[in-house]
Structure 1
Amino acid sequence: MNPPRGTAALLTAVTAVTSFLIAGPADAKTEAVSADSVDYAWIKSCPKKDYTVPCGKWKLAMRSGKTITLTDAQSFPRRPGGKVDKDLGAPLRVSGDGRIVSYLKNGRLVVRDVSSGEVRPLPGRAATLPRGADEGEVSTALSPDGSVVAVDYGDANDRLPSLIADLRTGKVATLSAREDVAGFSPDGEHLLTTRQTADNTTEFSVFGKDGRRTARRVVPQIVANNAPFALADDGTTVAVVVGGDSGKPRLHTYDLTSDAVSGAVRFSLPKGEEVQLLGWGPAGALTMWNYVGNGDAGTVLVVKRTVDAETGVTRRLHSFKPRRDSWIWWASGE
């Protein structure tokens, strides 16, 4: 069986990266590919005794049907003592538009422009992990166009602050380790985080790329207890999908400034299809990545749809079938 994937609420988007704006020389240059985009990244599963482990190299399944092998990406993380853990896959993520990939290369965090094949380190201190950090606990979250990267070190003691790296300017900001990154606004200007308070409530916060908090609110249960959710470009509006006892999904919006929850907007999905990722798109529409299948069979189909935030009208955009022999895979924006 594949390892637990966790709850992902990172944003998807439809914008494309037109240039790779990071100062300094490239770490590596690989063969260029066409203006294609990633459907998902995956690493193969191999048997070991009575369980499975990751094996081989990370690969990118492209929308065109091509497969790109990331020959320079670490397959396995190193533990604080330096030992390579071959029972676990090294961290890797794909931007919502499928154009930028982040991963570890020789112990440093880098980003790759999928179209050009150019690989560059994250700016400044964001590239190098702090002393004592466990590579197996590191995770990154990319803005929809991949121009901003949040780095979370995942230490249990919340000792290591997270970082927000702006690839366009090269600036790196610090974020409290107590904040859990939930996702970016579509333009990448705002970062949504969550935190469990001492009163067992859930607090949402919004930060700019400079690390300054612009909004904070203990949110109502209908927002805190449901997922996925997504932050709009205004930095205050959060969309959330609620399943409900009827099994019919509905959409709400929540305003962090006024603490107001909108009425329900119902929408329909085919049987067995569940919303896993959510992100704001142009003209008030939302983009959903929906998964079909669960249990030992895993996810057998991934469907991308839009849903109108006012009418609930949905439209199918794209779909793909993830490989059954993968140890783990990550959809673009997850």
Structure 2
Amino acid sequence: MTRLRDELRLLAAEAPQVDLAERAVRGARRQKTTTFASVVAALAALAVSAAILVDGSRGATTSTQVTDVLPASGVDPAAYAYYDFCGRKWDYRKNTHTFAGQNCAQWQLVTRTGQRFRVPEATSVYTEQTADNYMNTGAPLVITPDGRRIAYYSEKDRTFAVRDLAGGQIWLAPLTVTRQAMVRSGVLLTLSPDGRYLGVNGPDRLDAVVDVETGQLTEPPNGWRVRRVASGGTSVVMSDLADGLGLMSDGKVTPLTIGKPWDDITVPAPDEHTMAYLDGRKDDGNGMFSPDNAVATLDATTGKTLTKVTFRDAPKDFTPRLGGWLSPTEVAVSDAARGPRSEDGTPMLGEVVYGIDVNTGKVRERAKYTYRGWAGDLSIPGF
């Protein structure tokens, strides 16, 4: 639940108009009780924006006004997706409603070949916010690690859609979810790496794993929430109401031993039993945490720790959040990208993606995403 807390501290410092850290982490002024899903959705929506993005493997891409709508098929794999509140300053107390109906406030998808498209069918910015009633800034959009499929909330269909970018197929989850429910509590979406299984974590026990190609829906045991789904849908990382972690297989959940409130863990690696998590973070008792400084693995079948190594060659002030497996021995993490404001005061924000070797702790940078903007959301494949 705290995977973006450190990024939020940076963002709060860079964007003083809104107390983002207090909004997303504590949720103290929400009208309703904040669920795990709404906190995570708020964190994802508030922690990132997209105006300029730099990918270390492809060079710089400057945000421009995107006019083309995502074609029905034949689209190259996605490099990332974003919305940036039209490049304007965003104040949830005053002007969110002014973005209603604007094309520039829609999700925009950028392909690996540099094409840019609007995705109008994917709900983006919630515009109902006022000073007395504010909620998550927008609806989620997630991308598979290979960039070939995306998932999002489709308001016209009142459910979640998974879309294959090349083939054009769109699968709708056999769930009914109103915009009002999305606004009230937020939903966390996750796609399995193969793009076939959609995990839904939402309000009012809206928790399920959907095989989008057959429509089969699996609901977890009461009290467990969906966190991550493995390829094939056979293994699902779960959390309980106390933020303990478990692994669901064949409808049954086996609790995992790490279970601290800030923990997150991967699905099993290609060997189908090794799971990785970050370790070493400590709570000072006042809601502040020292950063993780180690990566550990455990055997999902026995629950026993297999390896634990401290980070090696990590950058200064490294505060990573966990992604997925990059190879049988390496996991992906991301950390906040840091930089000065521009001359007009616009913050430079972003994320850097790293790989960490679970056997040696070696940290290596894979891609750097930096951008200038006041508010928005950024979605990276596999995160």
**Does the pair score TM above 0.5?**
yes
1:284 paired residue number = 329
* 2:320 alignment partner, SS class: strand
Partners of 1:108 and 1:121 within 8 A in 2:
no
Name stretches of at least 5 consecutive residues in structure 1 with no aligned partner: 11-27, 80-84
Corresponding residue to 2:315 among 270, 278, 282: 270
Give the structure 1 partner of residue 61 of structure 2: none
The answer (yes or no) to whether the contact 1:238–1:255 under 8 Å persists in 2 is yes
Partner of 1:53: 96
Describe how 1:215-254 pairs up with structure 2 within 5 A.
215-217=253-255, 219-220=257-258, 223-233=259-269, 236-244=273-281, 249-254=293-298
- The separation in 2 between residues aligned to 1:78 and 1:44, in whole angstroms, is 11
Q: Residue type matched to 1:332 in 2?
A: P
Corresponding residue of 2:76 = 35
Q: Which has the higher helix share?
A: 2
Equivalence for 2:350: 301
Instruction: Indicate how the Cα distance of structure 1 residues 251 and 52 shifts in structure 2: closer, same or farther if over 3 A, else same.
Output: farther
Aligned equivalent of 2:143: 94
Deviation at 1:165?
0.9
Asked if structure 1 preserves the Cα contact closer than 8 Å seen for 2:351 and 2:369, the reply is yes
Please tell me whether residue 110 in structure 1 is matched to residue 130 in structure 2.
no
1:120 aligned residue: 170
**Alignment CA distance shift 1:286-1:179 (3 Å):** same
SS of the aligned residue for 1:135 comes to helix
In the alignment, structure 1 residue 145 sits paired with structure 2 residue 184: no
Per the alignment, residue 303 of structure 2 pairs with 259
| Contact 1:143 1:188 (8 Å CA) reproduced | yes
Name the CA shift for 1:301/1:271 in 2 (closer, same or farther; >3 Å).
farther
Q: How many percent identity over aligned positions?
A: 19
The aligned amino acid for 2:213 is R
Q: What aligned pairs does 1:169-208 form with structure 2 within 5 A after superposition?
A: 169-176=214-221, 178-185=223-230, 188-196=233-241, 203-208=244-249
How big is the shift at 1:42?
Answer: 2.7
* Paired positions, count: 295
Question: Aligned equivalents of 1:31 and 1:65: distance in 2?
Answer: 18
* Residues 182, 311 of structure 1: alpha-carbon distance in 2 compared, 3 angstrom cutoff: same
Contact 1:41–1:329, Cα closer than 8 Å, also in 2: yes
Root-mean-square deviation (CA), in Å? Answer: 3.8
Partner Cα separation in structure 1 for residue 24 and residue 135 of structure 2:
17
Secondary structure of 1:229's aligned partner: coil
Letter in 1 for 2:24: P
Q: Which amino acid aligns with 1:283?
A: P
- Higher percent of residues as strand: 1
Please list the CA deviations of residues 203-250 of structure 1 after superposition, one character each: whole Å capped at 9, or x if unmatched: 432224xx612x512524xx5244342121455433111244685721
Gaps of 5+ in 2: 1-17, 26-38, 45-68, 100-104, 129-133, 283-289
